[in-house]
Amino acid sequence: MAGEKNKEKLILDSAISLFTTKGFQATRMEDVAKKAGISKGLSYFYYKNKEDLFMALTKKAFDQLKDEFREVYRNRGKSGLQLMSDLVIRISAFAKTNQILYDSIISFLDLMKQYNSEEGREGIDPKILESVHFQKLLEIHHEPAKLGIAMISQGIKDGSIRPELQPEITFFTIWSMMIGFEKMRGPIEYEGKEIKINPESWEPGFIKLMQEMLRGTIQASKPTTVQTSLF
């Protein structure tokens, strides 16, 4: 059993390396098998086809993403607002160091949009729908979000986040901002852009804006004591 798991991991790691350097379309199953040092037939024993392999990669990506969320949430001594700030930094680092995994997560989110439409689902490659890893993803892809929602709920409870905010809506709004943040990294870092923005100030500026949105601008104030006299 351990030997099978090792082979499975070896194939997956080889696929990640090739998808990163060559891209998904240009990579063939025989390329993956060659890099893994196994026969092409054996690679098909573990993964039915390249689409199944990519779904396995995406499942791995969501598992690691959940670990990132969990590591942040473990810092129970911090406020909910601090946890969300830490999460932005952590996910940004994850995207930079695990680009193919992060891209597979974004790809799956797009796939889910198509899957949730009866008409769109018909256009999905049947090899993806038949993948056991795709079926697992349908079950677990919301798990990171559950931890994010818990962080928002904690912030509302400890007073660091505005009490009128709804945790689920708030988290998914922030997460959509984080996805947009990563998508805009390329245009922001492009040296030939006309818009003057420093890439080094982009992340802290994003975090500050998010904090102000979650914290709110209305500060509680103590009632003023008015002294009066009967005479």
Number of domains observed in the structure of the chain: 2
Instruction: With respect to residue 221, please indicate whether it lies within any of the assigned structural domains.
Output: no
- Are the C-beta atoms of 100 and 57 separated by less than 8 Å? yes
Residue 224 belongs to some domain of the structure: no
User: Is the pLDDT score of 171 beyond 60?
Assistant: yes
Q: Are residues 188 and 155 in the same domain?
A: yes
Same domain, 161 and 110: yes
Q: Are residues 136 and 200 in the same domain?
A: yes
Q: Does residue 61 sit in the same domain as residue 29? A: no
Q: What is the CATH number of the domain that holds 23?
A: 1.10.10.60
**167 inside domain:** yes
Looking at residue 150, what is its pLDDT? 97
Residues ≥6 apart with Cβ < 8 Å to 136: 59
Residue with tokens 């098998």: 33
Q: Is residue 223 part of a domain?
A: no
Q: In this structure, is residue 230 part of a structural domain?
A: no
Does 37 share its domain with 56?
Answer: no
Q: What percent of the chain has pLDDT over 90?
A: 75
Q: Which two tokens stand for residue 199?
A: 């890439």
pLDDT of residue 87: 97
Amino acid at 214: L
Does pLDDT of 201 surpass 90?
A: no
> What are 197's two structure tokens?
């923005």
> For residue 107, which amino acid is it?
S
Q: Is the pLDDT of residue 25 over 70?
A: yes
Q: What is the pLDDT of residue 222?
A: 41
Report residue 74 as tokens. 């473990």
Q: Do 42 and 64 lie in a common domain?
A: no
Q: Say which residue the tokens 């026969």 belong to.
A: 39
Question: Mean pLDDT throughout 27-53?
Answer: 93
Mean pLDDT of 81-103: 95
Separation between Cα atoms, residue 212 and residue 217, nearest integer Å: 7
CATH assignment at residue 112:
1.10.357.10
Task: Give the domain extent around 31.
Answer: 1-47
Q: Give the model confidence (pLDDT) of 101-144 as tens digits.
A: 999 999 999 999 999 999 999 999 999 999 999 999 999 999 99
Q: What is the dihedral of CA 218, 81, 213, 186, to 10 degrees?
A: 160
**What's the chain's average pLDDT?**
89
Q: Where are the alpha helices (DSSP H) in the chain?
A: 2-21, 29-36, 40-46, 50-73, 80-97, 99-115, 118-121, 126-129, 132-140, 143-158, 167-183, 185-189, 199-215
User: Do 28 and 59 fall within a single domain?
Assistant: no
pLDDT at residue 5, rounded to an integer: 67
